[in-house]
Amino acid sequence: MIRLAGLLFLFAYSCTPVERPLERMQASENGHYLLNHNGQPFYWIGDTGWAMFQRLSREQVDQYLDHRAAKGFTVIQSVAFWYPHGPFEPIGPLNEANFYGHRPFEGESHDPNTSVPLTNEGGSSLMPDDY
């Protein structure tokens, strides 16, 4: 059985205009809170857009992130690969295509080869041609 938990990871997007905000964060000396790039306590006001990278277009993701930043959110949590689950969504295919029709792994939609990502050479953020 495929263990999807190993495929999911937490993506935290900080709305702070710092080049690499999460790389500059550190734990406080007492280990009870995070410090930002200036050494000040970081207030984690998070939202969960779990499936945004798979379900939304790039423009929709930008709109969502801009909206959340304007509302004061400091972190957005998402996953790179979404396996639909929960009480409000039917269980979906294991290898569901993203908004642009690209699947994350080789194999069929219900039988992915999770050890082989589907990628194309030459992809860029301006001309997305793979997952």
DSSP H or E stretch at residue 35: strand 34-35
In a domain, 49, yes or no: yes
Beta bridge partner(s), residue 107: 112
Beta bridge partner(s), residue 34: 27
pTM of the shown model: 0.66
Range of the domain at 15: 4-100
Summarize pLDDT for 72-121 with one digit per residue, the tens: 999 999 987 777 666 776 666 678 888 888 888 888 888 888 888 888 77
In a domain, 117, yes or no: no
Please give the full DSSP string across 68-110, using - where no structure is assigned: HHHTT--EEEE-SS----STTS----TT---TTS--SEEEETT
Identify the DSSP state of 30: T
In a domain, 43, yes or no: yes
In a domain, 42, yes or no: yes
Summarize pLDDT for 5-20 with one digit per residue, the tens: 333 333 333 344 445 5
Structural domains counted in the chain = 1
In a domain, 24, yes or no: yes
In a domain, 111, yes or no: no
